[in-house]
Amino acid sequence: MHYPVLCAEALAYLAVRPEGIYLDATTGLGGHTREIAARLTTGLVIANDRDRESLEFARANTLEFADRIRFCQGTFSELKEAMRAQGIENVNGLLADLGVSRYQLTEAHRGFSILADGPIDMRMDQSQRVTAGDLVNSAAEKAIADWIYQLGEERRARKIARAIVRARPLRSTLHLAGVVERAVPRTGRLHPATRTFMALRMAVNDEPGELDRLLAMAPGLVAPGGRIVIISFMSLEDRKVKEHFRDLGRKGRAEVLTKRPITPSEKEVDDNPPSRSAKLRAVEMK
Ligand SMILES: C[S@@+](CC[C@H](N)C(=O)[O-])C[C@H]1O[C@@H](n2cnc3c(N)ncnc32)[C@H](O)[C@@H]1O
């Protein structure tokens, strides 16, 4: 079962119009794309993702609306070109549901999983050259510690980085998870390697840089009166989105529609526990 996170809320903030043109920058398995497409008549959704495998699932999950969806593979940085290729200058709404999908996280061969053994890969776009395995096996100890500290918000980053470098070569996700687990004891509910895996995933996919580029570019992609809706799962990301939207508001370029972030209902969290940390923010361009 696939649950698009904060789906009703995302659609309400996008204010989908039947004849509108929408850009789903992170189509993933097509959950939000499908719901947007279902509300269109003459309108169109551009469904983008950097992950080719996910796009195949999205295509299969949205077949009944195929005439209203154009798929494209690329990063946030390439969205402008993707729109141009469709002959589209701007859209009535842009949605970005950041991070990775359940599918990417749980499929062992994609190498994101702490629980299922696989190569230490973690690339969203599998044509990218550098994998997370390259990072743990060749980067400097200090760089690894900085990623784990800054991106994973893990206080024990230095200890973990030292253990990783000593255990080289790291061969698989379970090998890496075990090395981290032996270096730092479990303190709570989370597996001790959770934050390390998250940090490596963010580093190898340059997620902070991609979010910066998305935020810089989005206002230029959305027509006046159109909406930008962003769902994030990490405080680092939510902070960036909040500050950027506040800035657009101050400059008179957009109206901030969410004074506070919108979060999932208790029911949604019960039905889909990974949604618990989701935060949605939206602006309307002037
Ligand atoms: C949380 S999932 C989206 C799930 C989707 N909304 C759904 O309902 O199925 C995030 C997706 O964004 C993609 N993604 C993350 N960063 C990206 C980037 N910089 N450029 C393009 N796609 C990206 C990932 O590959 C992943 O499929």
Look at residue 155 and tell me whether its pLDDT is greater than 70: yes
Q: Work out the percent of the chain whose per-residue pLDDT is above 70.
A: 100
Look at residue 188 and tell me whether its pLDDT is greater than 80: yes
The alpha carbon of 252 and the centre of ligand 1 are apart by a number of angstroms equal to: 29
Contacts of 78 (CB under 8 A, 6+ apart): none
Q: What pLDDT is recorded for position 67?
A: 97
Q: What pLDDT is recorded for position 140?
A: 98
Strands across the sheet with 21-24, in order?
69-73, 44-49, 21-24, 91-97, 222-232, 279-285, 254-256
Q: What pLDDT is recorded for position 3?
A: 86
Mean pLDDT, residues 111-133: 96
The alpha carbon of 205 and the centre of ligand 1 are apart by a number of angstroms equal to: 11
Q: pLDDT (tens digit, 9 = 90+) per residue, 254-283?
A: 999 999 999 999 999 999 998 999 999 999
Check if the beta carbon of residue 218 is closer than 8 Å to that of residue 98.
no
> What lines the ligand 1 site, CB under 6 Å?
4, 26, 28-32, 49-51, 54, 75-76, 97, 99-101, 124, 210
Mean pLDDT, residues 106-133: 96
Residue 183 identity (one-letter amino acid): A
Neighbouring C-alpha atoms within 13 Å toward the C-beta of 200: 33
Q: Cis peptide leading into 119, omega within 30 of 0?
A: no
Residue of the CA atom closest to atom 2 of ligand 1: 101
Residue of the CA atom closest to atom 27 of ligand 1: 28
Q: pLDDT (tens digit, 9 = 90+) per residue, 206-251?
A: 999 999 999 999 999 999 999 999 999 999 999 999 999 999 999 9
Report pTM: 0.96
Residue of the CA atom closest to atom 13 of ligand 1: 26
The alpha carbon of 51 and the centre of ligand 1 are apart by a number of angstroms equal to: 8
Distances (CA, A) of 22 to 67, 87, 95: 14, 13, 8
185 or 156: whose pLDDT is higher? 156
Residue with structure tokens 């696939």? Answer: 2
Look at residue 2 and tell me whether its pLDDT is greater than 80: no
Look at residue 1 and tell me whether its pLDDT is greater than 70: no
- Please choose from 26, 123, 211 the residue to mutate so as to test ligand 1's pocket, defined by most ligand atoms within 8 A of CB: 26
Q: How confident is the model at residue 117 (pLDDT cuts 50, 70, 90)?
A: very high
Q: pLDDT (tens digit, 9 = 90+) per residue, 55-92?
A: 999 999 999 999 999 999 999 999 999 999 989 999 99
- Please choose from 124, 215, 217 the residue to mutate so as to test ligand 1's pocket, defined by most ligand atoms within 8 A of CB: 124
Q: What pLDDT is recorded for position 89?
A: 94
The alpha carbon of 85 and the centre of ligand 1 are apart by a number of angstroms equal to: 20
Look at residue 33 and tell me whether its pLDDT is greater than 70: yes
